[in-house]
Each structure stands twice: as structure tokens, then as C-alpha cells.
Amino acid sequence: MKIVKFKGGLGNQLFQYAFMRLLEVGYGISEVKADFTYYNGVKGDQVRKPRIEQLNTKIKKATETDLNNVFLFSHLGDPLSFKYKFKVMLEFMLNNKYYYEKDRKKRNVQQIIEYNYFDGYWQSWKYLEQIEKELKKEISYNKDFDEKTKNFIDKIKKENAVFIGIRRGDYLESTKTRKHYGIFDSDYYTKAIEYIKEKVDTPVFYIFSNDIQWVKENMNFDANVIYRTEDKQVSDIEELFIMAACKHAIIVNSTFYWWGAWLIENENKIVIAPKKWFKDDKPIDIVPNEWIKF
């Protein structure tokens, strides 16, 4: 049996799910389970719950017994605390069943397949190549959209819609986060919009952001722009499928926007993504070759 750890928001969870399915479908491992205990911490990631379960995903949850058979130390606690992180490091150093992904470069899965527990983000498009058909079938909502969302998606599908993902919010919360991810200025979006306008007839740009009010007040776009309102009734999963209904995308270094772009079914889609995903140049293999890098 193999266990894959889930952590972070929906974008991260989708990469972890893809890795889990790669082990099952690509490598023929019959029993792969998901560990969601990251979300149980008292002071843990309260906002980012395991949304992945709201999709038509094939997930079997690891039991307490399953986890106790793998871990040397207790796996419970606040995932943002030093104590929790220290235990993870000890598991990595002392536990020969535990694989910890030290950076975001793609691994040769065959070389790590003997491990029982996989703790990482697995953010490479290459993990998805082998299982793309299965993933696109399973990454679908397991309930009906409300009428308002259905109508909005129908409208988008009739246009040359381009979604623009602008992430602020949590990227501004700490100096460490800003140094790692960086914040994209208006020049990035201006160049990307001009590129799309040269390639696409009458594009309509839909702005998605976790700080839409700031975008409205501080950014100007020389284009036909529609802002997604911060509608608290619309879940992040619904937003994901609204983005995926577009024909093209301009994204920043957000896995949530990445998945919105990857799920677009348009064979001739144009996706513009950052040339440098991380400001601090830490290695990652996330942007597919066919996407345009600015």
C-alpha cells in the first residue's frame, strides 16, 4: 500500500491527486490512499480544506492504522508549527518508508516507488502526460452548478473568452512569501494581453483575483474586460470550472490558475505563464512546453 499526503489549497490538492493516480494507473499499484490529516491541525490551514472530495475523484482515505504503520512519530498537530515541521524532517531522515520531496523538480518515479509514504507537491506537467484522459474525466464537479453559474459558463463558451488570474492576498502576507513567489506588475499583464489581441479575434478578458477590488482600483486594461465579483456563494471549485470554460488564459504563479488553464479543452488554446515561476529561482518543472512564457 502507498499513501500520498494532501496539503495546501485546491490547486496543490489536484497535483497531489494526479500523482496518486499516476501511481495507480501508470505504475499499476492497486492500493493508494490519501492522507488528509494535514487539515486536522488546531491552528492549521483552516481555509484550505480538502475540496478535492467534491470532485468525481477516486479517493480512498488512509485510516489511523494505515498511518501508524508508516510513521515513526505522531502525524497530528498544527502543520504550520515548528514542532510539526521538525517531525516531518525526522521522518524524512530516519524513516525508510517516508519520501519527502525536497524541491519541485520532477522525480523519476521508478526510483522512488519503493517508498510507502509520499510527502510533496508533485508540480510537474510531466506527471500528468500519461494519465491526462483519466484526470480530465475525474476532475469534474460531483453536483450540478446553480442556474447563475450555468448561465455564466454558457455565456463564456459563446465568446473568445480569456481568463486572467491575478493573485495577491496570501502572496503579500509575509516577506518570505513575497521573496519566494514575487508579485507580478501591470507590465506582465499588458504584454500578455497585447499578445492575445494579436492572435485572437475579439477576445473578452475575464479577470479572476482574490483581491478584485484592488485590481479594479489599481490596474488599467486596454481591452474588453469583465471582472468576476467576489461572490461568496461561488466556491473555488465552481470558479475553477468557469475558468476552464474559457478558450485561452493568462496566469501567474498560482497552481489554482494553472489548473484552470490546463483544463481548457480548446485545442488551439493560448496559455501565457511566467518564465520564472519562483522569484528566488528554486527549480520547478510546472509550465508545459506549448505554453507561452513571459
The answer to whether residue 263 scores a pLDDT higher than 80 is: yes
Q: How far is CA 66 from CA 35, 38, 51, 60, 69, in A?
A: 9, 15, 22, 12, 5
Q: Report the distance separating Cα 173 and Cα 171, nearest Å.
A: 6
Burial class (CB within 10 angstroms; exposed 0-12, middle 13-18, buried 19+) of 30:
exposed
Which pLDDT score, from 0 to 100, does residue 88 have?
A: 86
Strand order in the sheet with 225-227: 225-227, 203-209, 160-166, 248-250, 271-273, 292-293
- Run of H or E including 267: none
- So what's the pLDDT on residue 44? 47
Contact 90, 73 (CB under 8 A): yes
Amino acid 230 reads E
pLDDT of 179 higher than 60: no
Q: Give the pLDDT score at 172.
A: 52
Q: At what angle do helices 10-21 and 255-262 cross, to 10 degrees?
A: 60
Window from 13-17, 163-167, 243-247 with minimum mean pLDDT: 163-167
Coil, helix or strand at residue 13? helix
pLDDT tens-digit profile of 40-85?
864 545 556 788 988 999 899 999 999 999 999 877 777 778 888 8
The span from the CA of 204 to the CA of 224, in Å, is: 5
Residue 171: CB atoms within 10 Å: 19
The top-scoring range by mean pLDDT among 114-118, 174-178, 284-288 is: 114-118
- What is the pTM assigned to this prediction? 0.91
Long-range contacts of 87-95 (CB under 8 A, 24+ apart): 88/119, 91/117, 91/119, 92/119, 95/70, 95/71
Cβ density class 202-219: b for 16+ within 10 Å, e for less: ebbbbbbbbbbeebeeeb
Quote the pLDDT of residue 55: 93
Given a cut of 90, whether residue 23 has pLDDT beyond it is yes
Over residues 102-160, the pLDDT tens digits come to 888 888 999 999 999 999 999 999 999 999 999 999 999 878 888 988 999 999 999 99
pLDDT tens per residue across span 196-247: 999 999 999 999 988 888 888 888 888 999 998 655 567 889 999 999 999 9
